[in-house]
Amino acid sequence: MIGLMLSSCNSNKNEQNQLKVQAVLNQYKDSVPDFGIVALIDNGTFLDTASIGYSFDKNRISTKNRFCMGSCTKMYTAVAILKLQEKGLLNINDSLFYYLPKHPFIDSTITIKQLLNHTSGIADFLNGGLMNESILNPYGDFSDKVLLDNIVGVSFEKGTRHEYCNTNYLLLAKIIEKVTDKSWEMNIQELILNPLQLKNSFTYFSNSIDNLAHPILDGKDFHSTPKIGIHTISVGSGVIVSDIFDLNTFMRALLIDKTLLSKNSLDLMTSLYTYKTTKWGLGLEEANYGNRIILGHTGRQLSYITYAFVDPKTKESIIVMNNNMNDEIVDKVFEKLCGQK
């Protein structure tokens, strides 16, 4: 009888917990007329998920949908670099001189670590409109030469400050390919997706992916737009597609269960570089929401937004994904979910 009562109490507690995420999303259900939001909180004991809105047309969005996670991809690239260091194939304190050809705007004494934590000072190769070009002309020339030629200028002297820059992760992808003689995509598959059995994660952005939530921007559906150009310029920095469960598995394996990297590698990844109010590790950031200090990354890609963070203190992972880059509601949802403790 006592066991039955305890089971009942635990069931009621879990049932109450599982109402939290849906209750937050329901506050905005009338504000998502043509796009959708999925969200998740997982504390290791219960998994709370919810969704509102649409994947496309009047098709309801759900946690079965997949989304391009944009710059959350950078966490995967950073993990791959650290795992290759564990294998002895590189050292994050190595200079780029050993791995990349000479470039007029890349100081060859910049280290891999400075790419990882965005302290390299290299200018962002996307600043010249390359992203728009990849959408308007998806079958254009996006060869390595073209991408590298779009690095024009230096933002600051290496190591003197932090500035978020996609070029850093383009170069990290090239380093991964050089030391392994395999594509970035194959490395991510072999080093991360396969070991974690992430069956709903993809190292490419393509319309052919089943259950892909359509990217909606200003009421326009961009699903039919070829993604090959976006994929090519976003390798290493913003191209992985996943559902919310696979992304949660990755985040928890990395930062909660701590099974994805060695202790030394994880310590390196979570060692923070502070510049003014910014705190960055290797491929992730520390952020403050209310009284929470969380670790993770955000992502924006045509046309998706992703928040993927964990609270090391409470052991909770909090993830929100949507299919509309101009949506401000997703920001409010994430902030409110961070208040659920």
Domain boundaries, the chain: 28-338
Answer yes or no: are the C-beta atoms of 23 and 29 closer than 8 Å.
Answer: no
End-to-end CA distance of the chain: 31
Q: Which helix (H) or strand (E) holds 20?
A: helix 20-26
Residue 290: predicted pLDDT? 78
pLDDT (tens place) for every residue of the chain, 341 residues total: 334 333 333 444 445 555 699 999 999 999 999 999 999 999 999 999 999 999 999 999 999 999 999 999 999 999 999 999 999 999 999 999 999 999 999 999 999 999 999 999 999 999 989 999 999 999 999 999 999 999 999 999 999 999 999 999 999 999 999 999 999 999 999 999 999 999 999 999 999 999 999 999 988 999 999 999 999 999 999 999 999 999 999 999 999 999 999 999 999 999 999 999 999 999 999 999 878 999 999 999 989 999 999 999 999 999 999 999 999 999 999 999 998 76
Torsion sign across C-alpha atoms 302, 303, 307, 308: negative
The CATH number corresponding to 28-338 among 3.30.1330.90, 2.40.50.100, 2.60.40.730, 3.40.710.10 equals 3.40.710.10
Residue 18: predicted pLDDT? 52
Residue 274 β-bridge partners: 279
Q: Report residue 255 as tokens.
A: 């930062």
Could you give phi then psi for residue 276, rounded to 5 degrees? 55, -120
Residue 341: predicted pLDDT? 61
d(CA 251, CA 59): 28
Instruction: Report CA Rg, the chain.
Output: 20
Q: From the CB of residue 220, how many other CB atoms can be counted at a distance below 10 Å?
A: 10
Q: Report residue 67 as tokens.
A: 């989304």
| Cα–Cα distances in angstroms (integers) from residue 191 to residues 168, 180, 188, in the given order | 20, 12, 5
C-beta pairs of 45-51 under 8 Å, 24+ apart in sequence: 45/14, 46/14, 46/17, 46/18, 47/248, 48/17, 48/18, 48/20, 48/21, 49/21, 49/244, 50/21, 50/22, 50/24, 50/25, 51/25
Strands 216-217 and 220-221: antiparallel
Q: What percent of the chain has pLDDT over 90?
A: 91
> Tell me, what DSSP letter sits at residue 21?
H
